[in-house]
């Protein structure tokens, strides 16, 4: 495991790369900066309830004392991909839908897919489970005059809906602004575009496994429908997010068989 400029307090250590954590306990509080590692749930195990204390990569976090990491594996070989390498421009003019979809399709489970700062014009892309979508400084902007059922980022696109007997690997959306470009869409005030969410999360209701998701520091604005919509079979944590000027609401939870924790979500018109 690689630690970038950072430290763990004296006496605290982590297992070697690739070793599954079965009973790791922090006996004192630990301050951690910038992990360059991947965190994934050991197959077949349930995620620990204390998982929210696990610091995601590239942020400043505080791990409280007496925190157990009971079912996680730690690896130092997480794949890092960049949407620009697949042709995405992020210039606010080019339609980047196809390039971003290619990048998502190329990303293996456990990878981080980075979006360099910019404005990415996106119609609908299917998002896959088990990927960390990192958009610090990136805006996902809807092109003009999109039809109903345009979901900017959606897990329900054919071929992308998670379906499994066990819960999915963790999927993370971090640091995005989703802009619905409302003033340049068609009529919507009588619900003509009611199914045009900015981020739509859903898993196969015929299977017991849930789509596990973390949505962090994401902002939803100028939407003709919902900003963030969580539907059937999702296990999500939504934290430090906001919504502005979303016609049907900044956040909605429907469908059933979902578990969602929301912390510090602010919505206004």
**Confidence at residue 147, expressed as pLDDT on a 0 to 100 scale:** 86
Q: What is the pTM of this model?
A: 0.72
DSSP percent split of the chain into helix, strand, coil, nearest 5? 10, 40, 50
Q: Which residues of the chain have pLDDT under 50?
A: 1-76
**Confidence at residue 133, expressed as pLDDT on a 0 to 100 scale:** 98
Q: What is the fold of 80-268?
A: Pectate Lyase C-like (2.160.20)
Tens digits of residue pLDDT in 210-224: 999 999 999 999 999
Which residue ranges make up each domain of the chain?
1-77, 80-268
Q: Are strands 30-33 and 60-63 parallel, antiparallel or unpaired?
A: antiparallel
Alpha helices in 51-187 (DSSP H): 97-106
CB atoms within 10 A of CB 127: 26
Q: Which residues contact 251 (CB under 8 A, 6 or more apart)?
A: 226, 227, 228, 229, 230, 238, 241, 243, 262, 265, 267
């Amino acid at each position: 495991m690689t630690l970038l400029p950072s430290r763990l307090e004296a006496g605290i250590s982590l297992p070697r790369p690739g070793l599954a954590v079965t009973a790791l306990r922090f006996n004192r509080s630990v301050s951690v900066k910038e992990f360059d590692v991947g965190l994934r749930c050991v197959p077949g195990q349930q995620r620990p309830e204390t998982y929210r204390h696990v610091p995601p990569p590239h942020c400043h976090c505080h791990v409280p004392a007496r925190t157990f990491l009971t079912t996680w594996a730690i690896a130092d070989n997480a794949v890092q991909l960049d949407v620009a390498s697949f042709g995405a421009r992020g210039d606010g003019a080019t339609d980047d839908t196809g390039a971003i979809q290619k990048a998502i399709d190329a990303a293996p489970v456990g990878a981080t897919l980075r979006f360099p700062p910019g404005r990415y014009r996106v119609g609908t892309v299917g998002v896959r489970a088990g990927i960390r979508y990192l958009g610090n400084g990136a805006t996902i902007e809807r092109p003009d005059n999109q039809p109903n059922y345009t979901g900017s980022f959606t897990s329900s696109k054919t071929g992308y809906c998670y379906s499994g007997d066990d819960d999915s690997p963790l999927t993370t959306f971090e640091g995005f602004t989703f802009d619905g470009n409302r003033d340049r869409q068609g009529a919507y005030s009588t619900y003509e575009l009611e199914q045009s969410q900015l981020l739509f999360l859903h898993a196969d209701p015929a299977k017991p496994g849930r789509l596990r998701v973390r949505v962090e520091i994401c902002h939803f604005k100028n939407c003709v429908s919902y900003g963030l919509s969580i539907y059937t079979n999702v296990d999500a944590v939504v934290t430090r997010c906001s919504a502005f000027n979303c016609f049907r609401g900044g956040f909605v939870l429907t469908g059933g068989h979902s578990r969602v924790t929301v912390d510090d979500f602010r919505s206004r018109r």
